[in-house]
Structure 1
Amino acid sequence: MEILPAIDLKDGKAVRLTKGLMDSAKIYSDEPWQLAKTFEDMGSKWLHIVDLNGAFAGEPKNLEQIEKIRENTSLKIELGGGIRDEDTIKRYLELGIDRLILGSIAVKNPDFVKEMAAKYPIAVGIDAIDGYVAVEGWAEVSEMKATELAKAFADCGVEAIICTDVGRDGTLSGINVDFTISIAEASGIDTIASGGLKSINDILVLKNTGKVAGVIVGKAFYEGLIDLGEAFKLV
């Protein structure tokens, strides 16, 4: 199981939100690339980046910082937030990003996602509130169940699903293990848990299910609740 440290970008800074609310942003670094380097030095292989401004704007908004992170680390990078068309996908791949996360567009145009997944390294981001898919930077809740959306992408070339329980994101209240497993079982695709991780025990519980491919670590690291170096050794 992979541990993917997260860097959420807002106005060029590394921040964390609570339950996806932009006005809840707490700044943790003015130089996100230095954070990425720290994760690499701790033993990370992957980095999870979200362009928060991009998620709301529907287009890249933190390119300068993303380029700095790419230039200063050898980490594999998956990136989401505002990726709505093939030109943006190509632009990021040319920049050296390893995998692109398609979120809102996966609900509104699943055929586009399947087409892109056949050509490029694509992950689908499924963010849910009470089991229903949230879109547009979590500002809207659709009428589609998260498990239905996950099932729609089975066997189409999608590399991974990143599933987030929005109600837990940034709350340090623990990963929603049952929700994560339901997504993995519905899709048959490598599933990465996100939202609410609070301790190394959460990581061990996920690992012991044998059904989860990865977990994203955000606020628990930034608030000093988890020793990432130790966590990498455990997995």
Structure 2
Amino acid sequence: MIIYPAMDLMGERIVRLQQGKFDDATTYSDEPLEALQRFAEAGAEWTHIVDLDGARMREPVQHELIAALARMSSLRLQVGGGFRTRDQVARMLDAGIARVVIGSLAVREPDTVRRWIGEFGADRITLSLDVNVVDGVPVVAISGWTEDTGTSLWKVVAEYPEARHLLLTDIGQDGMLAGPNFELLEDAVERLAPLNIQASGGVSSLADLERLTTDGAIVGKALWEGRIRLEEALRLVRT
């Protein structure tokens, strides 16, 4: 399993939102480069970064900062937030970003995102789908969780037979430190093979990581609040 220590950037500061609410943010650091250096020293190989300002404005806001971080860090960066055009994706990949994360656009414009996967390669694009579980069915939400599509996770993913990476978030668990939705994630691993699935939302302990069967795990709030030490998490998944 790959551990992705996560940082969400707002105004060039590292923050975490409660349930995706921009007016309920906790600031953890104003030194993202120092955070990347600490991740690397702990032994991480990847970092997951979200441009929250870009996600809110639906266009790149902090991509220049993130490109600079990519140049100055040895880590491979997986970056989301604000991508809407082919040129935005290309510029970030050319700047040294390892993977670009595409969320709402993957639901709204599957033809466009499939073209990007074909052009840039399946290893350079991560689909990101946020779901609410309704009567046992994971229903995809978009636009910062404000719009319920009424479409199941399974139907959306079926549009992407060529995809290789999926970041899956149960909205109800995100930022709550209550543990991931193991049932959903296990179902996804079984039903969506051979996709590489990254678990997002709720990881709060080493026990959570030990139980996960996904290919990757996004670790955010638990890391920033000291509930998980990155060195220990990396040691756990590598043994």
TM-score range, shorter chain: over 0.9
1:56-205 matched pairs, under 5 angstroms: 56-120=56-120, 121-130=124-133, 131-154=138-161, 156=162, 158-188=163-193, 189-205=195-211
CA contact (8 A) 1:33 1:68 kept: no
RMSD: 1.2
Q: Distance in 2 between matches of 1:89 and 1:134?
A: 22
Q: Distance in 2 between matches of 1:89 and 1:169?
A: 26
Shift of 1:181: 2.4
Stretches of structure 1 lacking an aligned partner (at least 5 in a row): none
CA contact (8 A) 2:71 2:95 kept: no
Shift of 1:125: 0.2
Shift of 1:139: 2.1
Equivalent AA in structure 2 for residue 230 of structure 1: E
Equivalent AA in structure 1 for residue 141 of structure 2: A
Shift of 1:28: 0.5
1:187-218 CA-partner distances (Å, limit 9, x unpaired):
32100000011100010001xx3xx1100000
Give the count of matched residue pairs: 229
Q: TM-score, normalising length from structure 2?
A: 0.92
1:66-101 CA-partner distances (Å, limit 9, x unpaired):
133212211111111111110110110111101111
User: Where do 4+ consecutive residues of structure 1 move more than 4 Å?
Assistant: none
Q: Distance in 1 between matches of 2:62 and 2:39?
A: 20
Shift of 1:159: 2.7
Residue identity over aligned pairs, in percent, reads 38
Q: Distance in 1 between matches of 2:190 and 2:6?
A: 25
Q: Distance in 2 between matches of 1:126 and 1:149?
A: 9
Stretches of structure 2 lacking an aligned partner (at least 5 in a row): none
